[in-house]
């Protein structure tokens, strides 16, 4: 991670104690209708693998669990991951502590991925995720 990114994260409070609790309290889980639409748009009834980049506390990651064979949540904040893991009973869900561009996941294996659909406060944080989504998804796939 660049020094610039480290500085932004430090100033944002993203790694502070309690941030994951506040995030989880105010961030809604995606409605099932959104998941229905994404499934129709991608043309994949039951994806083999979904990667949720920037999964936070796993709200969307868990929502996909019954709709896919495997779901991987990627999140760099260890406190967010701790909360995600504690709240996830599904055996087909796992979490990776990493930034979106550094997941270590093989390219082209994912049928579709998710990147944050909420407001993006820092564009530099979003662009590497788009690059990673394109890499993981492979040609002819879509990311939302």
Question: Is residue 137 pLDDT above 90, yes or no?
Answer: no
pLDDT at 23: 87
Burial of 11 (0-12, 13-18, 19+ CB in 10 A): exposed
Radius of gyration (C-alpha) of the chain in whole angstroms: 14
**Which range (33-42, 53-62, 82-91, 133-142) has the least confidence?**
133-142
Confidence of residue 112 (pLDDT cuts 50, 70, 90): low
Closest CA to 57 of 35, 88, 34, 36: 88
Q: What is the mean pLDDT of residues 90-116?
A: 74
pLDDT at 133: 45
Burial of 43 (0-12, 13-18, 19+ CB in 10 A): exposed
Confidence of residue 28 (pLDDT cuts 50, 70, 90): confident
Question: Is residue 119 pLDDT above 50, yes or no?
Answer: no
- Length of the chain equals 144
pLDDT at 123: 30
**Lookup: tokens for 95:** 């979490």
Residue, of 58 and 40, whose pLDDT is higher: 58
Report all structural domains of the chain as residue ranges with CATH numbers, in order of start.
Answer: 3-137 (3.40.50.150)
In tens, the pLDDT along 42-82 reads: 788 888 888 888 899 999 999 999 999 999 999 988 999 99
**Lookup: tokens for 54:** 């920037």
Confidence of residue 126 (pLDDT cuts 50, 70, 90): very low
Closest CA to 74 of 48, 92, 101: 101
């Amino acid at each position: 991670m660049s020094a610039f990114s480290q500085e932004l994260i430090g100033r944002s409070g993203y790694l502070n104690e309690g941030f994951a609790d506040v995030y989880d309290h105010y961030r809604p889980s995606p409605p099932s209708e959104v998941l229905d639409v994404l499934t129709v748009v991608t043309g994949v009834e039951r994806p083999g693998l979904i990667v949720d980049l920037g999964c936070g506390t796993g709200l969307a990651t868990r929502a996909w669990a019954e709709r896919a064979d495997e779901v991987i949540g990627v999140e760099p904040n260890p406190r967010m991951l701790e909360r995600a893991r504690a709240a996830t009973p599904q055996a087909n869900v796992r979490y990776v502590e990493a930034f979106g561009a550094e997941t270590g996941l093989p390219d082209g294996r994912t049928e579709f991925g998710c990147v944050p659909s909420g407001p993006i406060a820092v564009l530099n944080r979003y662009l590497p995720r788009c690059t990673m989504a394109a890499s993981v998804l492979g040609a002819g796939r879509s990311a939302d």
